[in-house]
Amino acid sequence: MSITTNKKYTGQKKNSVLSGAIRTEEGNNRTVINDAATGNYITFGAHVDGFGVAYYDSNKDIIKTDNGKREIRYRSGGIPYFISGVLPDGSLGTVISKEGINVISLFG
């Protein structure tokens, strides 16, 4: 699949093409969009934080999840450091942890 966009810059027309693939993983209950240029991908459906959108880098490490109620961001190595929205204790807010600390573990 290719997506082509046309943009005007100072009277010149430039094309940018994103190349990738969209696939459905029925066994995993998700749809995956790959960016062939970077190797990053986005999933819609089931992920580690439930059901929603998840972003992964080219090493298949999770970067961010968003299930509509909360957003979680991950450091390299898959350790969550940022959570915003409905927190694990049911309250609302945003919590950011120091390097090496799993922000979800702070809620015991």
- Secondary element (H or E) of residue 4: strand 2-9
With a cut of 50, say whether residue 86 has pLDDT above it.
Answer: yes
Write the pLDDT tens digit of every residue in 37-73.
Answer: 888 999 999 887 789 999 999 998 999 999 889 999 9
Q: How far apart are the first and last CA of the chain?
A: 44
Higher-pLDDT residue of 80, 3:
80
Tokens read off for 46: 């089931």
Please name which of 73, 44, 37 lies closest in space to residue 58, comparing C-alpha atoms: 37
Write the pLDDT tens digit of every residue in 4-29.
Answer: 444 444 555 555 555 678 889 888 89
Domain spans of the chain? 2-107
